A and B are shown apart, each in its own frame.
Chain A
Amino acid sequence: MSHVITTEGLTKTYGSRTVVDSLDLRVPEGCVYGFLGPNGSGKSTTMKMLLSLVRPSRGAISVFGRPMDRRTRHELSPMIGSLIESPPGYGHLTGWENMAIVRRMLGLSERQVRRAIATVRLGDHMDQRVRAYSLGMKQRLGIAMALAREPRLLVLDEPTNGLDPSGIEEIRELLLSLADEGVTVMVSSHLLDEVDRMASVLGILGRGRLVFQGTREALFDRSVPDLVVDTPEPRRALELGIPAVRVRGGVRVSGTTDDGTAELVRRLVHHDVPVHGVRRVRRSLEEVFMDLTGREGLS
């Protein structure tokens, strides 16, 4: 599998604070890469470095197999459709006029612009000034600007920000269909839920470090499933000092090994706690995510 973006030891420090720490990213071609992390974990900073909007303190970036730096950025960055933090758009100009600026800037055709607008379904509002747009409309315009060049790589920083549920669903479908056409999409979010259903590869940031990178399945495999013990007397089970929480019809123990499970059942039986059943349950992706990134600082 070839990679569209690779980084080696990518690091950014502000003063003595390291906000992005030694990232080795691998973004495979033609997939949706979900870039996850809580607020302030360094997603936007990383994406800005990928687009050469922020200079890395250390490390190397390669995009389409070529090094991305100050000398090559004028050539490479126009090939990437991007949306970083809040969307661009001149408030005193209409949607059309804004798209005309982008068209001239990148030497695009009228057809490409119309297609991008149709894709984000902004057609009805293009004669309106952008100043009067809602956040969701601005976001759509920003996505249209990124899409118009028909890029092979899209780097989108929280593109669903400000969109309503149906808008989020539309973006999800759009990104998936783009990936089907062979476009590589890197999309960030602080909500796992949002990228879960579209990303086939995940990169998870926690305090500037890459705590996980791989497929969704690999992420599940890394976490030990929880153990649920069905019992009519959960109080007594808890009184034994088992590291568990009470759930309906029993208790739930997180992350036990096979030996730990055997030991646990032995103790329960020994103390005459009635055990009606023992089963493994998969943890939700959200819980895995929270464990990896730490529970604080999540919104």
Chain B
Amino acid sequence: MIRTAVTLEVHKSRRLRVGVLCLVMVASVVALAGMNLFSDATRAGFSDPAAQPWEALLLNQVLMTAMTAPILVAVLAGRQVDIEHQGRGWTLARVAGFGPGTLCRAKAVVLGVVLTLTTGAQSVLLLGAGLAAGITVAPPLALWGRYTFCLVLVNLALLCLHLWLAARVEHQLVGLGVGLLGAFYAVFSLLMPVWAAYLLPWGYYAAISPLAMSGDHLVRSGPVPWLLALFLGAAATLFLLACRRLDRSEGGPA
């Protein structure tokens, strides 16, 4: 059942410009985060580990991602769910034996794959940009990899939240507004004390930052593992419970 539902979502996503949106997101993050690579001051430190050229690039990615990812997630979830509200898809699916919760889970699978690919591509391209620009210090691959992995997980958690919101609230501007506020919160979390990042889901874009400022130096950092695990576990559990409730409810989800 869920496999059929996933196939259906892939077919429904036609013309929703999911791919284009993700490409724009990747391109803008890579362009904005990599901008400094071309300033002379930065180039001077390309072969000096003390100048931390990779760390600077990675921190730029964290900032740009915090700014854009919440919005991308909100837009993708909104588009993929809005078609059901507009086209009476909930009823169509329900009388064919697919509850709204099943539809939401299928959407999570499809968009989850897309977001994972987008996130991966973003990190790889940025790494490539650094190499192409001529950074000769060895890149901190493990650190970058860990950040990318955490980012994928946080994106998926937020995706679940936005899918649920988009299904429950028919007006899609609400989801988009929440995404925008979330982006603000994510960016501010990077500047606020560490604990603030753990208060709201969007703060986790900052909490997973692999680097922190210490004096005028960047030091390795990372999320509190059990807090991150708790957040991800709670998001997954609540989403699945909400989907089950939607499947058992009458009519549509809104």
Interface residues of A, Cβ cutoff 8 Å to B: 48, 51-55, 70, 73-75, 77-78, 80, 82, 84, 86-93, 97, 100-102, 104-106, 130, 145
Contact = CB atoms under 8 A, between A and B. Distances in A.
Contacts of B4: 104-105
A145 B95 CA distance: 11
Contacts of A87: 88
Given A87-B88, A93-B12, A75 B83 contact: no
A97 to B, nearest CB: 7
B170 to A, nearest CB: 15
Given A82-B95, A87-B88, A104 B250 contact: no
Interface string B65-96: 00000000000000000010011110111111
B16 interface: yes
Interface string B94-120: 111111000000000000000000000
Given A86-B88, A102-B92, 19 more contacts: A48-B251, A51-B95, A52-B250, A53-B94, A74-B99, A75-B97, A77-B96, A78-B97, A88-B88, A88-B92, A89-B87, A90-B86, A91-B86, A91-B87, A92-B15, A97-B14, A100-B11, A105-B4, A105-B96
B248 interface: yes
Contacts of B86: 90-91
A195 to B, nearest CB: 22
B173 interface: no
A104 B95 contact: no
Contact of A53 (B8, B12, B87, B251): B251
A73 B87 CA distance: 22
Contacts of B7: 104
Contacts of A77: 94-97
A54 B91 CA distance: 11
Contact of A90 (B12, B248, B250): B12
B95 A78 contact: yes
Given A74-B97, A91-B86, A101 B14 contact: no
A91 B11 CA distance: 13
Nearest to A93: B14
Interface size class of B (residues with CB under 8 A): 20 to 34
Interface of B: 4, 7-8, 11-12, 14-16, 83, 86-89, 91-99, 248, 250-251
A195 B50 CA distance: 85
A97 B97 contact: no
A92 B96 contact: no
Of A75, A82, A90, A104, most B-chain CB atoms within 10 Å: A90
Nearest to B95: A77
A91 B12 CA distance: 10
Contact of B88 (A70, A89, A101): A89
Contacts of A145: 92
A70 B248 contact: yes
Contacts of A90: 12, 83, 86-87, 89
Residue of A74, A80, A91, A100 with most partner-chain B CB within 10 A: A74
Nearest to A82: B95
A78 B97 CA distance: 6
A80 B89 CA distance: 17
A87 B4 CA distance: 23
A91 B89 CA distance: 11
A105 B99 CA distance: 12
Nearest to A84: B91
Contacts of B12: 90, 93, 101
Contacts of A100: 11
Given A88-B89, A105-B96, A55 B15 contact: no
24 contacts: A52-B250, A53-B95, A54-B251, A55-B250, A74-B99, A77-B94, A77-B95, A78-B97, A84-B95, A88-B92, A89-B88, A90-B12, A90-B83, A92-B16, A92-B83, A97-B11, A97-B14, A101-B8, A104-B8, A104-B11, A105-B8, A105-B93, A105-B96, A105-B98
